[in-house]
Structure 1
Amino acid sequence: MTATQQPVGVELIEVDPHTLDVGKNVRDRVDLDATPGFVASIREHGVLHPITANRREDGVLVVIDGQRRLLAARATDRDTIPVLVRSQDTADEVERALARISEQMNSNNHRTGLTTAQNAAGVAEMLDLGVPVERVSKELSVKRKTVKLLGAVGRREAARAILEEGLTIEQAAVVAKFFLMWTSHGESARGSDHPVVGWVHARADREDGRDRVLGGPGGTRW
């Protein structure tokens, strides 16, 4: 991929939180009710660590890192929040998207980690941009095998759903594989209650308390 390089600038400003665009985020669910202490801290002290944003062509600031802080600031009626505004260093849309996804995944995993299903969805989005497995592996500091498994799982809702039930990436990859085979033969997709999901559960139960479905005991987790 060839990118057109542009000057990079950084500006720290105070902004009304309601004027920011939350934008796309790998963390697709934010439950502020589950973290009352965090919300109370924002109400009492404000946003202590600046939100990172890019300025869109129309001037609107789009959040890259700090979705929870922004939503908490809105919920607690903060007048302004600190925002670190960065200019884009490339005009290539794929490179911009890759940088956003990579930063969001790395930042969140260094704090309150994303769920494995959310990681899988993020990896799938990267791969769907046409980014090579090797590049994704380097961006996220994970093995290429894990990238491939996460990518396969991330593209299938039923496979992501089964991760939330405590199974491993390998087990969810089996769901993705058989789900694809099932739908390719004209069967309808019905989400987490699909017969393939039941098959994986049954097989996992037979193999010593869901220890494995693929690749030996244990299993890869994010």
Structure 2
Amino acid sequence: MHPRNIRDDLGDLSGLADSIAAQGVLEALTVIPHVAADGTPGHQLVAGHRRAAAAILAGVASVPCVLRPDLALDDDAADGDRAAQAGHVGAMLAENLHRRGLSAVEEARGVQAMLDLGVPLTRVAKSTGLGRKRVAKAAGVARLDGDTAAAVAGAGLTLDRAAAVAVYAGDPETAAALVAAAGRGPGGSPTR
């Protein structure tokens, strides 16, 4: 598993595992060349964490992979490691945003990881297919404290609703009331 995998929860893999047991993995996983801490050469998974976990659950010994050396870490460049890691996170975001949806908090964490790795907001938007406004909202959501982020994820809030909560991140009582109201759906009002 990639150390910067942005998905917290792989979800229920039973249906995917059944499908893989019956038909195999239909879409290749994306891997990069990687040398383990003990010096053993191998590969690191960049995209396809759900498929890989479901294949293991199904008892499948090997799966198709696409080797992407262009995404590998560049040991010769000073900023190569950060740039390559940002590329990995961007690939994960791009893939997952168009599949079983990431939670608003997972999306925000991925966007913030790219920003933290020095990728400009405009380039994050372009490499992931997200608009600039969405990237900015995600960056705001990424600043939520752990408890509020967990409440936002638990309530299944959209990025727009999570961004509204993030505006009040400094006021835990208001943020909690907004999460509760947003979780009740349209017309739900905060209670105090």
Q: State the 1:94 CA deviation.
A: 1.9
Partner of 2:82: 94
Preserved contact between residue 23 and residue 63 of structure 1 (Cα < 8 Å): no
Partner of 1:14: none
The question of 1:128 aligning with 2:116 is answered yes
* TM-score of the aligned structures, taking structure 2 as reference length: 0.76
Change (3 A) 1:22 1:71: farther
Partner of 1:113: 101
Cα RMSD of the aligned pairs, angstroms, is 2.8
Q: Which runs of 5+ in 2 are unaligned?
A: 75-79
The code of the aligned residue for 1:38 comes to L
Q: State the 1:142 CA deviation.
A: 2.5
Preserved contact between residue 6 and residue 92 of structure 2 (Cα < 8 Å): yes
Q: Distance in 1 between matches of 2:59 and 2:91?
A: 27
The question of 1:29 aligning with 2:17 is answered no
Change (3 A) 1:113 1:166: closer
Q: Distance in 2 between matches of 1:65 and 1:167?
A: 25
Between the aligned residues of both structures, percent identity stands at 30
* TM-score of the aligned structures, taking structure 1 as reference length: 0.67
Aligned residues: 176
Q: State the 1:153 CA deviation.
A: 0.5
Q: State the 1:30 CA deviation.
A: 0.9
Question: Rg larger in 1 or in 2?
Answer: 1
The code of the aligned residue for 2:102 comes to L
Q: State the 1:44 CA deviation.
A: 1.8
The question of 1:46 aligning with 2:24 is answered yes
Q: Which runs of 5+ in 1 are unaligned?
A: 1-20, 183-193, 212-222
Q: State the 1:202 CA deviation.
A: 7.5
Partner of 1:81: 63
Q: Distance in 2 between matches of 1:131 and 1:36?
A: 36
Q: State the 1:67 CA deviation.
A: 0.6
The code of the aligned residue for 1:105 comes to L
Q: State the 1:145 CA deviation.
A: 2.2
Preserved contact between residue 133 and residue 144 of structure 1 (Cα < 8 Å): yes
